[in-house]
Structure 1
């Protein structure tokens, strides 16, 4: 399983540096601690993302 494509991480260091150096209050990286054991858009993954993100993004709809 796991749908991680190596291309996903190619720009990550540059994007992280830009985010952290932006000086914005929202310029932070949040680790949701979700293992790469899911397929793309797998319902369990979507549900888990919504649960984990609710702490940081209260406007995200609660999972069904």
Structure 2
């Protein structure tokens, strides 16, 4: 597990270049439609894997380490 990570939320309604991000990271060919589409990238910013949203835990206590 990484010590740190970055989460980016790109909403196509408000981010007109969202498709460019998918293309530039190589994630476009893995996107099958629908949201959320959560994926990881490597140190070069290229797609490595899709993260299933059903496996993501939402912290509800409001605290971040």
- TM-score if structure 2 supplies the norm length? 0.24
Highest RCO, 1 vs 2 (Cα 8 Å, sep ≥ 6): 1
Q: Going by fraction, where is helix more abundant, 1 or 2?
A: 1
Q: Going by fraction, where is strand more abundant, 1 or 2?
A: 2
For the pair shown, the structure with the greater C-alpha radius of gyration is 1
